């Protein structure tokens, strides 16, 4: 009869735990800064879209006041987009073109992938290298 022994739990030193916590805090700080950096233009676009036209022209756009919705704010710019432009037709055209291109791309790329995976032919490595280089 054999007996199994439990593996001993490893206890990390306080220095290791402090280093791990510091590394984790640094990672979160870097990710927060990057998230703010990438969200900043979106915030600017949204704030600019709810300001009226006079506020956008007269306000100093080089300071932080450009990112604060002050004065007369509203959704009139969004209303104007749907009233003045045939937004539905433009959206339909965009969806139609994108859908067609995606389906054609899937069809053609699937055939090329099958040929590269299953068939052996002259110039296969060159074609595969070209495709990978263009990625």
Query: Mind listing the pLDDT tens digit for each residue in 77-110?
Result: 888 888 898 988 999 999 999 999 999 999 999 9
Q: Cα separations (Å) of 32 from 27, 28, 47, 64, 91?
A: 9, 6, 21, 19, 34
Q: 76 and 18 in one domain?
A: yes
| Higher-pLDDT residue of 112, 60 | 112
Q: Are residues 21 and 62 in the same domain?
A: yes
Which one has a higher pLDDT value, 8 or 74? 74
Q: How many domains does the chain have?
A: 2
**pLDDT, position 67:** 74
Domain contains 118: yes
Domain stops at, among 48, 70, 85: 85
pLDDT at 42: 92
Residue 63's domain comprises 14-85
Q: Which of 41-45, 60-64, 101-105 has the lowest mean pLDDT?
A: 60-64
Which letter does DSSP use for residue 64 in this model? Answer: G
């Amino acid at each position: 009869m054999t007996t199994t022994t439990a593996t001993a739990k490893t206890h990390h030193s306080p220095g290791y735990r402090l280093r791990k916590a510091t590394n984790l805090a640094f990672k979160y700080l870097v990710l927060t800064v990057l998230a703010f950096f990438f969200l900043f233009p979106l915030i600017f676009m949204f704030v600019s879209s709810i300001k009226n036209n006079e506020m956008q022209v007269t306000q100093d756009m080089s300071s932080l006041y450009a990112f604060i919705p002050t004065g007369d704010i509203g959704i009139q710019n969004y209303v104007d987009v749907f009233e003045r432009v045939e937004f539905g037709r433009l959206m339909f055209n965009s969806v139609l073109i994108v859908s067609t291109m995606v389906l054609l791309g899937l069809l053609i790329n699937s055939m090329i992938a099958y040929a590269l995976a299953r068939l052996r032919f002259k110039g296969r490595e060159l074609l595969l290298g070209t495709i990978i280089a263009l990625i």
